[in-house]
């Protein structure tokens, strides 16, 4: 039982134990919803948690989301239902009314359903089977998209899913090879997603071609190295985000009322790394799309211009106007200096 022992040890480390992210032996019994796709990672997670259920006093349930985008999706859901029954755990299923059009919309729907199921069944925690391998893929993928530290700090151990419900990923230091070894060792049948081998998906090319190439030619320990980078950046990002939040709390440099405005002088005094985060948080409240690099740089350019009526338009209806000593965010219609 080599893999079983290894993974149990990894999850119960004395220092920084992933399981310490979950409540243990509290009263009332903590309820945890395990998101299971049927693949080796979430199957491994569910079995590992079930093995320790009595020790930590958890009430566990399994949730599956059927996106209905493959012909065999019903059989996939049935597989997970049988697995839950074998483990003696409750099974909760959500089936999509409308088949999602993209990976991103499927993921969005899935997290919405997981939050809704957790709320309905009184679970304070949702756990997913994301592994170190997922983390490395996400990190590399984001690197190629030009992402900053936030994207490279891919996948957090824990974040808020919705009000009062935490999302926890206990397998972030476990590799996919280890979850596969665990499932084999424990003779658990996993559901093979037929699209996993499809190289027309960029994510699959990264997993099946790029990462093995980098491992063979650059660093056999590539996964560990990149996961370490993500881990380090995560705390850097947290620190900088807090600093940016403090800026809003400590200085009367921002007015949130209409039209919202930021004071140029105090913003200019901050290091550029912080200026960028402050502006991103500020714009994030108002722009309809996700704030991107160009939006932030366009806003910050206003700090360097002399022309009092200079403006920077954003996609959509908003424009940032230099109105000394402020940069004001207003509707394009309200401003006739549009560039
Ligand atoms: N259909 C599903 N039903 C329930 N849980 C799921 C489903 N698909 C994925 N999950 C959960 O999400 C984890 C990650 O799955 P996967 O890597 O396929 O998702 P992803 O699309 O990359 O999502 P993410 O953006 O969260 O990384 C799984 O280990 C499992 O816990």
Q: Tens digit of pLDDT for each residue in 264-287?
A: 898 999 999 999 999 999 999 888
Cβ 128 under 6 angstroms from ligand 1: yes
Report which of 99, 123, 122, 113 is spatially closest to residue 33, judged by C-alpha positions.
123
The fold of the 251-334 domain, in CATH, is 3.30.465
User: Going by CATH, does the domain composed of 2-226 fall within 2.170.140.10?
Assistant: no
Mean per-residue pLDDT for 14-18? Answer: 77
Q: How far is the CA of 305 from the centre of ligand 1 (A)?
A: 47
Per-residue pLDDT at 83: 98
Mean per-residue pLDDT for 168-175? Answer: 96
Which ligand 1 atom lies nearest to the CA of residue 111? Answer: 26
Cβ 35 under 6 angstroms from ligand 1: yes
Cβ 168 vs Cβ 130: under 8 Å: no
- Which residue's CA is the nearest one to ligand 1's atom 10? 37
Cβ 41 under 6 angstroms from ligand 1: yes
Mean pLDDT for the chain?
Answer: 92
Asked if 2-226 and 251-334 have one fold, the answer is no
Q: Is the pLDDT of residue 6 over 50?
A: yes
Q: Is the pLDDT of residue 109 over 90?
A: yes
ipTM of this predicted complex? 0.90
Cβ 173 under 6 angstroms from ligand 1: no
Dihedral sign of CA atoms 44, 45, 46, 47 in order: positive
Which ligand 1 atom lies nearest to the CA of residue 134? Answer: 17
Q: Which residues participate in the annotated binding site for ATP?
A: 37-42
Domain boundaries, the chain: 2-226, 251-334
């Amino acid at each position: 039982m080599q893999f079983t022992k290894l993974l149990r040890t990894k999850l119960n480390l004395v220092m920084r134990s992933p399981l310490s992210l979950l409540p243990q032996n509290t009263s009332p019994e903590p309820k945890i919803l395990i998101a299971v796709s049927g693949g080796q990672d979430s199957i491994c997670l569910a079995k590992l948690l079930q093995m320790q259920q009595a020790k930590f006093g958890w009430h566990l349930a399994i949730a599956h989301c059927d996106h209905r985008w493959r012909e065999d999706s019903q059989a996939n859901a049935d597989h997970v239902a049988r697995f839950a029954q074998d483990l003696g755990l409750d099974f909760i299923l959500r089936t999509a009314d409308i088949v999602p059009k993209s990976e991103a919309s499927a993921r969005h729907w899935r997290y919405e359903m997981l939050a809704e199921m957790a709320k309905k069944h009184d679970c304070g925690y949702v756990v997913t089977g994301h592994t170190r391998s997922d983390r490395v893929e996400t990190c590399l993928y984001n690197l190629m998209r030009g992402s900053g530290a936030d994207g490279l700090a891919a996948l957090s151990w824990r974040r808020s899913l919705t009000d009062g419900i935490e999302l926890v990923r206990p397998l972030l230091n476990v590799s996919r090879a280890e979850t596969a070894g665990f499932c084999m060792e424990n003779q658990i049948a996993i559901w093979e997603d037929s699209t996993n081998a499809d190289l027309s998906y960029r994510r699959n090319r990264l997993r099946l071609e790029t990462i093995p190439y980098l491992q063979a030619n650059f660093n056999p320990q590539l996964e560990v190295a990149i996961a370490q980078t993500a881990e380090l950046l995560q705390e850097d990002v947290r620190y900088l985000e807090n600093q940016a939040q403090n800026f809003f709390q400590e200085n009367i440099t921002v007015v949130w009322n209409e039209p919202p405005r930021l004071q140029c002088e105090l913003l200019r005094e901050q290091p550029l790394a912080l200026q960028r985060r402050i502006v991103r948080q500020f714009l994030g409240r108002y722009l309809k799309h996700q704030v991107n690099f160009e939006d932030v740089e366009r806003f910050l350019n206003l700090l360097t211009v002399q022309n009092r009526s200079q403006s920077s338009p954003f996609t959509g209806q908003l424009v940032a106007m230099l109105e000394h000593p402020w940069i004001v965010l207003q509707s394009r219609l309200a401003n006739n200096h549009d560039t």
